[in-house]
Amino acid sequence: MEKRQLGKSGIQVSVVGLGCNNFGAMPLDASRRVVDRAIDLGITLFDTADVYGNRGGSETQLGEILGARRKNIVLATKFAMPMDDSGSKSGASAAYIRRACEDSLKRLNTDWIDLYQQHRPDPKTPIEETLRALDDLVQQGKVRAIGCSNMPADQLEAAHQTSRTKHLAAYVTAQDEYSLLVRGIETALAPVLEREAMVLLPYFPLASGLLTGKYEKGKDIPSGTRYSRMGRFGERYMTEENWGIVEGLTVFANANGHSLLELAFSWLLAHPYLASVIAGATSPAQVEQNIAAAGWKLNAAELSEVNRLATKS
């Protein structure tokens, strides 16, 4: 499988990654089958977080499943979201980062984390304190590279300025929502990524399923799908405008001998600042489907037309 660099880190990852947010909620054997198939097919990026799987379940399952294969993959996890109900185990203070990292290392059954990501900004902690703590982890060999998620463009620029002036480790990745239906990062964040030689790891690349082709306007939502479990959250995607875009994109993809799912993956990978499309899977078949979807190389004319079809009024 094609690989790309995680910014300036020197770490290479497969262009299709495995999102591990379902692990911990899934039985261990089911998670194991997904991981085994992903590794067999060349996926090297496994993305989790301490909060996934009911606070720790995803990391714990990965720690049990990977074994000796851990050294052959790029393991990414996150910190900052609440790990208890009191709020004492959350944020990006130096003390909490040290604690959170040790907890993640223990659950993951590993000595190092390849990409340690700040899951969300912490307005209560100065960015220099956060970056110094992360830099310490890098210097200690417990973390190879650092990233952020959901950080506004101006805060990300300020973080890079701090890293430069204080000679601290800098964020090499940003994990933010990006898809054919949600393109907000293009205005402010993407220019910062390109300027700082960072890369994007998009979440919700399929708009929580609306870009899979499973759903049709006016028809009942199939049981067992993500949208059937999302309730009102799904309404942010299932708008009249989005349905119109999906219809146009589906016609375009089919006319070119491809599926909407293939278009969603391939359009993302047409962006040079994007390193890997992280997609979750609950079965080996989904892993296979996600990998196959990344095979369409859009030419300039196709990319231009897709951008036109996906532009909102």
pLDDT digits (tens, 9 = 90+) for 52-85: 999 999 999 999 999 999 999 999 999 999 999 9
**Cβ contacts of residue 54 below 8 Å, gap of 6+?**
24, 25
Residue 231 lies in a domain: no
Q: Which tokens belong to 31? A: 């998670």
pLDDT reading at 106 higher than 60: yes
**Mind giving me the DSSP string for 42-78?**
T--EEE--TTHHHHHHHHHHHHHHHGGGGGGSEEEEE
Residue scoring higher pLDDT (238 or 13) = 13
Which contiguous run of DSSP H or E holds residue 159? helix 153-166
SS3 210: coil
CATH number at residue 107: 3.20.20.100
Give the burial class of 231: count Cβ atoms within 10 A of its Cβ; 0-12 exposed, 13-18 middle, 19 or more buried.
exposed
pLDDT at 313: 82
**Cβ contacts of residue 30 below 8 Å, gap of 6+?**
282, 283
* Under 8 Å between Cβ of 174 and 156: yes
Q: Is 178 one of the catalytic residues? A: no
Residue 281 lies in a domain: yes
Which of 102-106, 150-154, 187-191, 221-225 is predicted least confidently? 221-225
pLDDT reading at 311 higher than 80: yes
Residue 217 lies in a domain: no
What whole-number distance in Å separates Cα of residue 194 and Cα of residue 80?
Answer: 25
Which of 27-41, 102-116, 221-235 is predicted least confidently? 221-235
**Phi and psi angles of residue 261, each rounded to the nearest 5 degrees, phi first:** -60, -45
Q: Can you give the residue range of the structural domain that contains 102?
A: 3-209+266-296
Which of 31-40, 110-119, 232-241, 299-308 is predicted least confidently? 232-241
Residues belonging to the chain: 313
Mean pLDDT of the chain: 94
pLDDT reading at 302 higher than 70: yes
What whole-number distance in Å separates Cα of residue 122 and Cα of residue 81?
Answer: 10
Can you state the angle between helices 127-139 and 153-166, rounded to 10 degrees? 60
Q: Could you report the per-residue pLDDT of 164-175, keeping only the tens digit for each?
A: 999 999 999 999
Q: Which tokens belong to 218? A: 């006016």
What total of structural domains would you count in the chain? 1
Residue 181 lies in a domain: yes
pLDDT at 236: 79
Q: Could you report the per-residue pLDDT of 185-238, keeping only the tens digit for each?
A: 999 999 999 999 999 999 999 998 899 988 776 555 555 555 445 555 467 788
Which amino acid is it at 59?
A: E
Residue 307 lies in a domain: no
Q: What percent of the chain has pLDDT over 70?
A: 94
pLDDT at 214: 80
pLDDT at 208: 84
pLDDT at 87: 84
SS3 115: strand
Residue range 29-58: average pLDDT? 97
Give the up-direction half-sphere exposure of residue 166: CA atoms within 13 A in the CB hemisphere: 19
* Under 8 Å between Cβ of 259 and 213: yes
Residue 261 lies in a domain: no
Q: Could you report the per-residue pLDDT of 78-96, keeping only the tens digit for each?
A: 999 999 998 889 999 999 9
Residue range 226-253: average pLDDT? 79
pLDDT at 220: 54
Which is catalytic among the residues 52, 96, 171, 237? Answer: 52
pLDDT reading at 259 higher than 80: yes
Residue 190 lies in a domain: yes
Q: What is each CA distance from 109 to 59, 89, 215, 295, in whole angstroms?
A: 9, 20, 39, 34
pLDDT at 152: 97
Residue 238 lies in a domain: no
